[in-house]
Amino acid sequence: MRRGLLILGRLALAAVFLWAAYAKLRDPWMIFAMEIDAMHIVPNSIVEFLARTMPWFELLLGLLLVVGIQMRYVASVATALLAIFFTTLLVLYLRGFQGDCGCFGPGEQLGPKTLARDGALLALSIWVTWAAFRRSERAPVATM
């Protein structure tokens, strides 16, 4: 039962990362760059790098979550990334930022719904990571 739930959680996270990557990669990278730029949180020199690489990183992470190997590391990275996203969006929201959240391509305005969804995803990712570590403690060579 728990194993089934874990697989479900892992695949749900994978689907989110894959969708986020697809939604960004189908548009020119400049669209995502402008979304990041409008947030005024990173220097201009980093904006282009992030816009060009983040969707590919999300794609890689999504694929690794589907495959399910080295879950301790993969789930930890996914959790760290989601924690960064959530914290950034929360700070922006508290500052009154009303632009695009840049989560799944253009068109989603940052709001309470975005924060609730990202918070839920972060919670799911933390749980998947915790479960991956627990499983590896019991059977170090097994994958989730």
Partner 1 sequence: MRLTILSLLFAATVLFATDSMERSAGRPDAPVTLEVFSDFQCPHCAKLHFGALKSALGDCVASGKVRIVYRDFPLPQHQYARKAAQFADAAARLGWYERVCDALFRTQEEWERTGDIEGSVGKELTPAEMAKVRKILADPKALAEINRDIDADLALGARIPLAETPTMIVSGGGKRYPIRGDIRYDYLKQLINSLPVK
Q: Which residues lie near partner 1 (CB under 8 A)?
A: 27-28, 30-31, 33-35, 37-39, 44, 47, 98-100, 106-107, 109
Nearest CB to partner 1, comparing residues 34 and 63: 34
CA-based torsion, 68, 106, 46, 93: positive or negative: negative
Cβ 97 to partner 1, closest distance in Å? 9
Cα–Cα distance measured from residue 30 to residue 37, given in angstroms and rounded to the nearest whole number: 10
Cβ 51 to partner 1, closest distance in Å? 8
Nearest CB to partner 1, comparing residues 2 and 45: 45
Cβ 67 to partner 1, closest distance in Å? 33
Nearest CB to partner 1, comparing residues 28 and 87: 28
CB contact at 8 A, 82 and 54: no
